[in-house]
Chains A and B, each alone.
Chain A
Amino acid sequence: MQNALQNLFLSLVNVAVVLAVAPFFEGIIRKLTAMVQSRQGPPVAQPYFDLLKLLGKEDIESGESPAMQRFSSYLSLATLLVVAAILPVGGRAVLGGSVDCILLIYLLTLSGIATLLAGLAAGSTYSLMGMSREMMCMMLLEPLFAVALLIGALHTGSLRLDAILNGSVYSSAGFPFSGYLMLGVMLFSLQAFVGRLPFDVTEAETEIMEGPLMEYSGPKLAMFKYARMAKLVIYCFLLVALFAPWGCGSGDYLMNWLLLLAKVAVVVVLVTVVAATHARYRIDQVIRYYGILLGISLLALGLAVFGY
Chain B
Amino acid sequence: MSLLSKIKETLICFKAGRVTLPYPRETRPVPPRFRGRPVFDAAKCVGCGGCASNCPAREILMVDLCQEVRVVKYIGRRCTYCGRCADVCPEKAITMSKEFETATNEIHDIQQELELFMGTCQRCGRCFTDAGPLDQLKMKGYRFDELDKDRWVYRSAGYLEKEAAVRDIEIEMD
Q: Which residues of A contact B (CB under 8 A)?
A: 35-40, 273, 276-278
Q: Kindly list chain B residues whose C-beta atoms are within 8 Å of the C-beta of A277.
A: 6, 9-10, 13
Interface of A is mostly: loop
Pair B10/A36 contact, Cβ less than 8 Å: yes
Whether B66 is near chain A, meaning CB under 8 Å from some CB there, is no
A35, B13: Cα distance in complex, Å? 8
Whether B24 is near chain A, meaning CB under 8 Å from some CB there, is no
Q: Kindly list chain A residues whose C-beta atoms are within 8 Å of the C-beta of B132.
A: none
B residues contacting the other copy or chain, number (CB 8 A): 10
A273, B3: Cα distance in complex, Å? 13
Pair B18/A35 contact, Cβ less than 8 Å: yes
A109, B14: Cα distance in complex, Å? 38
Tell me the smallest distance from the CB of A115 to a CB of chain B, in Å. 29
Give me 18 A-to-B residue pairs in the complex whose CB atoms sit less than 8 angstroms apart, sorted by A's number.
A35-B14, A35-B18, A36-B13, A36-B14, A38-B13, A38-B17, A38-B18, A38-B20, A39-B18, A39-B19, A40-B18, A40-B20, A273-B10, A276-B13, A277-B6, A277-B9, A277-B10, A277-B13
Interface centre among B10, B16, B18, B19 (most CB of A within 10 A): B18
Tell me the smallest distance from the CB of B39 to a CB of chain A, in Å. 34
Specify the chain B residue showing the minimal Cβ separation from A273: B10
A35, B18: Cα distance in complex, Å? 7
Tell me the smallest distance from the CB of B14 to a CB of chain A, in Å. 7
Known A-B contacts: A36-B10, A38-B13, A277-B10. Give 7 more (CB < 8 A): A35-B14, A37-B13, A38-B18, A38-B20, A39-B19, A273-B10, A277-B9
Q: Kindly list chain A residues whose C-beta atoms are within 8 Å of the C-beta of B18.
A: 35, 38-40
Question: Which B residues between 6 and 37 are near A, CB-CB below 8 angstroms?
Answer: 6, 9-10, 13-14, 16-20
